[in-house]
Amino acid sequence: MAMKKLALFSLLLNLAMFLAIVLAIVPKTTGEGYGGDDDDCGDLLGSDLYKDICPEAEAIIFARVRLAVFQDTRMAASLLRLHFHDCFVNGCDASVLLDDTDNFVGEKTAAPNLNSLRGFEVIDAIKQELEFVCPQTVSCADILATAARDSVVVAGGPSWDVQMGRKDSLTASKALANNIIPGPNSTIGNLVAKFQNVNLSLKDMVALSGAHTMGKARCTTFAARLQDSTNPNGPEASLEFIQSLQQLCSVSDSSTLANLDLATPEMFDNQYYVNLLSGEGLLPSDQNLVTGDEQTRELVETYAQDMSTFFQDFKDSMITLGRLGPFTGTKGEIRRNCRSVN
């Protein structure tokens, strides 16, 4: 009996130490809420929303994200991408998380998302824990925004103040997801148009593209790059790089994956931009940032030379992304289950 009590005490002590570590290193959201004349919902978003009503929220999200990335390093990129795909369709409202039902079609089966988006089970686990601690308090949309930030932090990237107060949508749009989320073969003109459509600038586009410093892509998404036989000294492609991709994708398996960043695929850094200047951008849309427009090339060169500038611009663009048309106030709801409306 004494041994059992000692073992239980040890377990509780270890758990307490783990929670203390998490609370000590979790990224803090300490900045003031923001707003402005051009942002009709900015004054309803703030950084201290859960300070009193669910003070454990950010620590829980961070701990779950860190565990998920520890178990699968690719998950950092997946959680970041979930937030991006959510915000592009009717704003950051967690519409991307809704499952199809007999009477409802969500966004998960849209072409940019089907067999591509990952990490839903991580969001489920976070939501389940938060519902136990703070029932119907933290929205799924706020979880997505915070998990995206924490994924970057866990992978070695910068932190930023996540503004809170989004509500979850009651519906979704597969049609919009099909039409407005940028595709891997996009030209610069197409990319600029789609980002401007949601009030994101050319600079935002280039900075947010830096998220491709992590993660993987299927061979089917960069098939156009496999046909590129440019000489290795040219600006468009590295011949050695293209040949390595051709070899990788020569097997008749559409699920074959390649790292978006061959050099440091699990780290959030500026290597993505260095790769582009060497002709080693995986997706056609990535390499087009160098070859398709002088303005985007100049930004790529800046970020390749100065990681701190990239980090700052990425943080600013993520904050801008996170404030795209969220439901706030009395609009929307706080779902009990992120996969379905209440």
Angle (CA) 310 60 313, round 5°: 10
Q: pLDDT tens for residues 72-101?
A: 999 999 999 999 999 999 999 999 999 999
d(CA 123, CA 13): 28
d(CA 206, CA 314): 9
Are the CB atoms for 57 and 139 separated by under 8 Å? no
Known binding-site residues for Ca(2+) equal 86, 89, 91, 93, 95, 107, 213, 261, 264, 269
Task: Just give the CATH number of 188-321.
Answer: 1.10.420.10
pLDDT of 109 reads 96
Instruction: List, by residue range, all CATH 1.10.520.10 domains of the chain.
Output: 56-180
Q: Which pTM does this prediction carry?
A: 0.86
pLDDT of 231 reads 43
Q: pLDDT tens for residues 103-145?
A: 999 999 999 999 899 999 999 999 999 999 999 999 999 999 9
Strands (DSSP E) found in the chain: 216-218, 257-259
Token pair in block for residue 97: 């998380």
Q: Name beta bridge partners: 123.
A: none
Are the CB atoms for 169 and 332 separated by under 8 Å? yes
Are the CB atoms for 119 and 191 separated by under 8 Å? no
Instruction: List, by residue range, all CATH 1.10.420.10 domains of the chain.
Output: 188-321
CA nearest to 338, candidates 73, 119, 174, 162: 119
Are the CB atoms for 328 and 35 separated by under 8 Å? no
Residues labelled as active-site residues: 85
- Across the chain, which has 342 residues, the per-10-residue mean pLDDT values are 46 43 47 36 66 94 98 97 96 97 95 95 98 96 98 98 94 95 95 96 98 95 77 59 90 82 95 96 94 96 98 98 81 95 96
Token pair in block for residue 142: 């706020």
pLDDT of 311 reads 98
Known binding-site residues for substrate equal 182
Q: Which one is the CATH code of 56-180: 3.40.50.720, 3.30.56.10, 3.40.50.1100, 1.10.520.10? A: 1.10.520.10
pLDDT of 340 reads 97
pLDDT of 41 reads 46
Are the CB atoms for 119 and 82 separated by under 8 Å? yes
